[in-house]
Structure 1
Amino acid sequence: MTLYLDLSVLQSVPAANLNRDDLGSPKQVRYGNAPRIRVSSQSWKRAIRLGVEQDLGEKAARSRLVPAKVQQALERAGWPAELAAFAGAQVAASAGKKGIGTEDAGHTSVLLFLPEAAIDELATVCTEHRQALEGAAGKKKPGQVLPPPTIEAILKRRTASISLLGRMLAELPDANVDGAAQVAHAFTTHAAEPQRDYFTAVDDWLGEAETGSGHLDTAEFSAGVFYRYATVNVADLTKNLEGDLKAARTVLASFAEHFLLSLPQAKKNSTAPHTVPDLAYLAVREHRPLSLAAAFETPVTADQKGGFSQPSRHALNAYAHNLNRLTGDRNRRFHGHTVIDPQEK
């Protein structure tokens, strides 16, 4: 039997730009023949991951700078800079059968996702094989100096967040992890489009005879009520954590908390959009997860007082009721909700 934890959230966000496209505009999607503001799942997952790692005290890093970080660790241990740089490059070159490609300045050609503690472990391997590294440092084609199985084993290590959210690395297929969590793109429950903000900055040292601003520009932002959804396959999470049920419960609780309370940090200093959900709904289901996103295929319209939050909550409640009437509750083990308006409890 497979259990899924479904989380649905409605959250009102004021003027902000939580997630930008390549032109700096808030991301969008067209749904139900209406434009909506969208926040990508990747953006929100990063905020969730950082919170989970803070809770559990085991940080991971996604970076192309692993060789450079190993080099820095070795230099702190007294290695000559040139030899340390070669050793860092060998970490990538010795990963797997063909190695991982590197570019200038200690960058790998792809992002690696690994526990932060792995850097010290890799530096230790380099120290254990320092003599071999010194002998190969001057060669044009040194090959794989460090033991590939050892390097690969370190790069394959997982943290709870990697077990939860997954990892993809084409160069090391055995390091891939199918994430237990699925996070949907958030979108506004109603039609919404970006708005433009014209702003200026004062030059404090202009002369008395000088007028005008020191800088002027435009920026885009948006506002709205977002529907957010995520689901976690509890069996997959437990499997990724090597069958540790206690750890799975801890990770699941941390994920739920940070899914509810985290927020992408883009443009936070100029918008401070630090709201919490208006409504949160949780369900534990067997066999398959169920999103409530279709509640908003028809865009919500503002009520007489002009807001979208209350009609969004009503639309979600009506859809959940109809969905339960259609599918029944035989596969639902538990469900519950909380809402910010005490009159709606």
Structure 2
Amino acid sequence: MNRVEYAFLSCHSLSTHANVLLVRDALGRPKQCPYGDAIRATLSPQTQRRADRTHMRDQANLGIGPLASHAWGLRTREWALSTAESLNSAHDWNHQRALDTARAALNGLGLNFGTTANTAYLTKVMVFAPENAGQALAKIINDHQEELDTWIAAADTAKAAADAVKVKAKKKLKGKTEADPGDDEEAPAAEAKAKADVPPMPSKIKKKLIAALAPADAIDISLYGRFLTEIATGGNVDGAIQTITAIGIEPINITEDYFSAADDRKIARQRQGTDFTSALALLNAVDPTLSSDAEDDLPLGDNRGAGMTGYQPFVSATFYAHSVLDRNLLRRNLRNSGTPEAEIEPAARAAEQAFLDAFVYAVPSAKKNTSAAPGTLPKLVLVHEGKRAYNYAACFEEAVQPAAGAPSIQGAKRLLRHHAMITRKEGISPGAVLTYDLAISEYIDDLRLTGELGPIEVHSPEELAAPFTAMQPA
């Protein structure tokens, strides 16, 4: 096995967002945390990772980029529904039988389902598996339907008996008195025995179903990993990508945006003006014997005010984001997933290039229609490699103060100075830098002229990987 000597690819970025709500807390407000000497706006790692992963997948689905020919995974609670759809369409199963059998089969693997009508066929946890897993599960179930039917019937009978013992134990406990304490261990023991009588799924079928859910050639599972505790042998994967909570480099700045939404019918009446003739005719038609309350009930349109008003919090900030790719772990994940040896290195390099593209371009899409946040380009991206990962969040422990100038410009200068110090002390590769900001570009030019620019300046995400490919095994 070839190992990459400079195993860790550390990526840093500064991105400025104006009046956005990319991620919110339980109260609907921008997420924040105390760090250093100020409260900062934050973007949770899962928000960033989903944006990166979906960006890579969307590009591949359009036939764009290095991962266009690779398989992908799906993270969902709907594997029973997906399996049932395949049983129905590909194997001509009755829809309800397909649903019940798929649910029972996945439950036999250890996956638990919801207990309400809306969640009965949804697993309690999301399962990250290859996108074609539903079709693979359906084929296995169809091939072994007689054995599964027999097992399901026996399991249902045993579960019904266990439930009956549980109900009986509860009734007995409810009716227990001090004069008749009973045996406290009797009910739990009986319930445990009843549960133990539930037959396990036939091992050969179980192994095949688990194999269908295994990571296989889903490239994003090798990159981001998965954690599946419900199935003991389900194939947990340590992710090759680490991501920090992105932090605002300046003190948090939240705007409580008051909004008013117009009612189209009210606006139409306002534009037409008041028709006094129609209003007089309506008043003359009122029955004078009606009470004043009845007159109040007449369906007269009210032209006053907005249709709806409220407040929406937004945040403006320059975020420092950091992710690191463990190249050797990525290659190990690909190997463990069954990727042929000759394809591991090309796949790993393609995944690295796609990851860098996503790190530059992917933006969380929350509130995109009212903020256009996905159109934001980063102010600065710095990428370098080493034998360990390097996280530069500490250089923003002292918050950047807007009174001293644009936070993004201050942040870029501070980040590059910090990197120069780490490069000098650790002896690591200076890497490459990419900017989409004119002021920062001029600062980089000044550093180049004075011989102080360590990283190579590049002009696209594709070029970010170029300085490193020569250092990887051929």
Q: Tell me the TM-score normalised to structure 2 length.
A: 0.68
Q: What amino acid is the match of 2:329? A: D
Matched with 2:392 is 292
SS at match of 1:36: strand
2:12 alignment counterpart: 8
Match of 1:247 among 318, 326, 347: 347
Q: 1:123 aligns with which of 138, 147, 150?
A: 138
Q: Which residue of 1 aligns with 2:433?
A: 337
Deviates more, 1:52-61 or 1:276-285: 52-61
**Equivalent residue, structure 2, for 1:314:** 413
Q: Distance in 2 between matches of 1:209 and 1:239?
A: 68
Alignment of 1:277 with 2:378, yes or no, is yes
CA distance in 2, matches of 1:138, 1:3: 52
- Structure 2 distance, partners of 1:136, 1:291, is 53
| Aligned residue type for 1:23 | L
Deviates more, 1:180-189 or 1:198-207: 198-207
1:88 Cα shift? 1.1
Between 57-66 and 270-279, the greater mean CA deviation after superposition: 57-66
Q: Is the 8 A contact 1:83 1:137 kept in 2?
A: no
8 Å CA contact 2:55–2:362 kept in 1: the answer is yes
Distance 2:312 2:157 in 1: 50
Partner Cα distance (2:23, 2:391) in 1: 22
Q: Distance in 1 between matches of 2:223 and 2:149?
A: 40
Aligned twin of 2:242: 182
**Which of 73, 92, 111 is the equivalent residue of 1:60?**
73
| Distance verdict in 2 for CA 1:116–1:313, change over 3 Å | same
Deviation at 1:164, TM superposition (A): 0.6
Task: Give CA-to-partner distance per residue, 1:255-280, whole Å, 9 cap, x none.
Answer: 11101110011111111122111111
Report the residue type matching 1:153 in the other structure.
A
Name the SS of the counterpart of 2:431 in structure 1. strand
TM-score by length of 1: 0.92
Give the alignment partner of residue 86 of structure 1, picking from 88, 100, 116: 100
Q: Distance in 2 between matches of 1:93 and 1:2?
A: 43
Within 1, Cα distance between the matches of 2:80 and 2:253?
43
| Kept after mapping to 1: 8 A contact 2:385/2:431 | yes
**2:225 is the counterpart of 1:166:** yes
Which whole-Å deviations, capped at 9, do the CAs of 1:66-111 have from their partners, x for residues lacking one?
Answer: 112211222224211221012211331232xxx2112243111221
- Does structure 1 residue 39 correspond to structure 2 residue 43? yes
Q: Which moved more, 1:219-228 or 1:51-60?
A: 51-60
Q: 1:234 aligns to what?
A: 327
Show the 5 A alignment for 1:208-227: 209-227=302-320
Partner of 2:423: 324
Amino acid corresponding to residue 284 of structure 1 in structure 2: E
Find the partner of 1:73 among 86, 89, 110. Answer: 86
Q: Distance in 2 between matches of 1:138 and 1:217?
A: 56
Q: Bigger CA drift: 1-10 or 261-270?
A: 1-10
Whole-angstrom distance in 2 between the partners of 1:263 and 1:301: 25
Name whichever of 251-260 and 151-160 sits farther off.
Answer: 151-160
- The residue type equivalent to 1:35 in the other structure is I
Provide the C-alpha distance between the structure 2 equivalents of 1:344 and 1:212, rounded to a whole number of angstroms.
51
User: Which structure: greater strand fraction?
Assistant: 1
Deviations 1:287-330 (A, max 9, x none): x11111111111112265x42111111111222223334x231x
Higher mean alpha-carbon deviation, 143-152 vs 178-187, is at 143-152
Once residues 59 and 160 of structure 1 are traced to their aligned partners in structure 2, the CA distance between those partners, rounded to angstroms, is 6
User: Within 2, Cα distance between the matches of 1:63 and 1:141?
Assistant: 30
Secondary structure of the 1:179 match is coil
Gap runs ≥5 in structure 1: none
AA aligned opposite 2:32: Q
Counterpart in 2 of 1:25? 29
Report if the CA contact (8 A) 2:19-2:255 is conserved. Answer: no
Query: d(CA) in 2 for partners of 1:310 and 1:220?
Result: 25
Task: Give, in whole Å, the separation in 1 of the partners of 2:157 and 2:50.
Answer: 39
Match of residue 459 from structure 2: none
Whether the 8 Å CA contact 2:104–2:152 is kept in 1: the answer is no
**How far 1:209 sits from its partner (Å)?**
4.4
User: Residue type of the partner of 1:147?
Assistant: I
Q: Which moved more, 1:170-179 or 1:204-213?
A: 204-213
**CA shift at 1:156, angstroms?**
1.5
Percent identity of equivalent pairs: 27
Q: Which has the larger radius of gyration?
A: 2
How many angstroms apart in 2 are the aligned matches of 1:245 and 1:235?
10
